[in-house]
Amino acid sequence: MAKRTINDIDLRGKRVLARVDYNVPMADKDGAMRINDDTRIRATLPTLQSMTESGAKVVLAAHLGRPKGERVPSMSLRPVADRLSELIGQPVAFCDQCVGQAATDAAAKLEDGGLLLLENVRYHAEEEANDPAFAKQLAGDAEVFVNDAFGAAHRAHASTAGVAAVLNARGGQCVSGLLMERELQFLGDELESPERPFVVILGGAKVSDKIKVIDRLLDKADTILIGGAMAYTFKLAKGFTVGKSLVERDKVDVAQAALDKAAKRGVQFLIPSDNVIAVPTEIDGRFAFGDHRVNDSENIPDNVEGVDIGPKSAEAFCSVIAGAGTILWNGPMGIFEDERFAGGTFAVAKAVCEATANGAKSIIGGGDSVKALNKAGLGDQVTFMSTGGGASLEFLEGRELPGVDALADK
């Protein structure tokens, strides 16, 4: 069911606690932490602008990295406050605590339309433990809780589920931000009744990570295209050899069950008929690949590893994508981080963008497919790119996300 959003309530003069996803990549440069990619900060601007224009007093809570309950200086959110201030064009106060007197005082100083970012909530072990007393402190005197952090919504933590429980118990309001609303619309509502044909493209490392998504989408999709290392487990199920490719031998029966279900439901289910292969050599615990070439056979020879889909498969996948009404894509077709093995992923990315230009709705289900599209410079040519990784997958599996569940229904 659709969730109430910030547009459904009156925020004038209200005290708001907003959970945002500012888990941005940072690196040390000349002794100071610098933000490498501010996409996640930019993604919250529509929600923040709408709230500040409504005159709300907005306290922002977020996490960065995995400090595991310790104050790790390199994981401070202070640089995010500075960057957010530049992007939104107004001062953003920063408090180096997220709970306690300093945080309470900083929140009390906020004027209507003001913004305050609290320090990393994961500096406290109580955050991930969803400790009720910590959640109560974090909630402060907020009258409204806004969750715009889809990427953290699959975790029942104090700043996602805990504060919502506090607000709900004292008659406050819990609503979604505009980014969260778009995530729920595209990964949820749009896929419930997709424009047909509905083509699902899945790749990445493991069948086990995505089998529940495959199973659920087999009820809805017209075609499923499988690439990445997970294709090799399906190859094994079909009786082909996979050489040294990354496979999950204990998941062959799971792959077979998916193939059976596809056949029963009349879902077209394609796995690569050719592959790019390479010879792996282990050097200091890491794999290097040499002698890469196209293997124009369903079977992969003994001493080589499948590292990408081959040109014939890419062409077959792209022609299916060209005819799609709705496309959902999650996971690369090969080890795209190495440009020798990025051809299949980039061909699929291009085909998805061309289909979008021709009227298809394209939804990118987060994680590495988003990275691949951005690497190909095509990030702005799809209908929607999810900001969630694990959260997107769990949502696509049809699971309730604790951070979404706690928000009021429309």
Minimum distance between the CB of residue 204 and ligand AMP, rounded to whole angstroms? 3
**40 three-class SS:** helix
Q: Give the residue with the Cβ less far from ligand AMP, 205 or 257.
A: 205
Q: How far is the CB of 334 from ligand AMP (least distance, A)?
A: 5
Examine residue 246 and tell whether it contacts ligand AMP (CB under 6 A): yes
Verify whether residue 136 is a known catalytic residue.
no
Q: Which of 4, 78, 182, 206 is catalytic?
A: 206
- CA–CA distance, 57 with 237 (Å, rounded to integer): 57
Of the candidate residues 331, 343, 388, 402, the single one contacting ligand AMP (CB under 6 A): 331
Distant-in-sequence, close-in-space partners of 240: CB < 8 Å, separation ≥ 6: 298, 299, 300
E strand or H helix at 308 = strand 305-309
CB of 208 to ligand AMP, least distance (A): 10
Catalytic hit among 40, 57, 122, 210: 40
Would you count residue 151 as binding ligand AMP (CB under 6 A)?
Answer: no
Segment interacting with ligand AMP (CB under 6 A) among 126-134, 214-222, 316-324, 333-341: 333-341
Considering only residues 129, 205, 259, 322, which one is a binding residue for ligand AMP as defined by CB under 6 A?
205
The minimum distance between CB 315 and ligand AMP, in angstroms, equals 18
Minimum distance of ligand AMP from residue 215's CB (angstroms): 16
Alpha carbon 384 to its chain centroid, in Å, reads 12
Instruction: Tell the smallest beta-carbon distance from residue 257 to ligand AMP (Å).
Output: 20
Residue 138, CB half-sphere, CA atoms under 13 Å: how many?
35
Structure-token match 């295209």, residue found:
225
- For residue 364, the minimal CB distance to ligand AMP (Å) is 12
* Stretch in the footprint of ligand AMP (CB under 6 A) among 39-47, 70-78, 80-88, 202-210: 202-210
Binding piece for ligand AMP, criterion CB under 6 A, among 13-21, 155-163, 198-206, 400-408: 198-206
Concerning whether 343 is annotated as a catalytic residue, the answer is: no
Candidate residues 206, 216, 292, 350; the one interacting with ligand AMP per rule CB under 6 A: 206
For residue 40, indicate whether it is catalytic. yes
How would you classify residue 89: left for phi > 0, otherwise alpha for psi between -120 and 50, otherwise beta?
left
Cα dihedral 64, 68, 70, 76 in deg (nearest 10): -10
Site string for ligand AMP, 256-295 (x = CB under 6 A): ----------------------------------------
Q: How far is CA 197 from the centre of its chain?
A: 24
What 3-state DSSP class applies to 297?
coil
d(CA 44, CA 21): 8
Amino acid at the residue 38: D
DSSP 194: P
Contacts (CB under 6 A) with ligand AMP, residues 356-395: 367-368
Q: Is 228 in the site for ligand AMP (CB under 6 A)?
A: yes
Cα 50 from Cα 42, distance rounded (Å): 14
**Element (H or E) spanning 394, and its range?**
helix 390-396
Per CB under 6 A, does 310 bind ligand AMP?
Answer: no
Alpha-carbon distance 213 to 396, whole Å?
Answer: 6
Name the nearest CA neighbour of 265 among 219, 298, 303, 310. 219
Task: Choose which of 140, 306, 310, 402 interacts with ligand AMP (CB under 6 A).
Answer: 306
Told to judge if 367 belongs to the known catalytic residues of this protein, a careful annotator would answer yes
Q: By the 8 A CB rule, do 366 and 153 touch?
A: no
CB contact at 8 A, 385 and 323: no
Interface with ligand AMP includes 212 (CB under 6 A)? no
Please state the separation of Cα 334 from the chain's center in Å.
19
Of 164, 307, 342, 404, the residue at the interface with ligand AMP (CB under 6 A) is: 307
Near ligand AMP by CB under 6 A: residue from 272, 334, 365, 403: 334
Q: Say which residues have a Cβ less than 8 Å from residue 8's Cβ, sequence separation at least 6.
A: 175, 410
Positions in 337-356 near ligand AMP (CB under 6 A):
337
Q: Say how many CA atoms lie within 13 Å of 211 toward its Cβ.
A: 18
Q: Rounded CA gap, 294 and 277, in Å?
A: 6
How many chain residues interact with ligand AMP (CB under 6 A)?
A: 17
The distance of closest approach from Cβ of residue 85 to ligand AMP in the complex, given in angstroms and rounded to an integer, is 33
Query: Residues with catalytic annotation?
Result: 40, 206, 367, 390
Footprint on this chain of ligand AMP (rule: CB under 6 A): 203-206, 209, 228-229, 246, 306-307, 331-332, 334-335, 337, 367-368
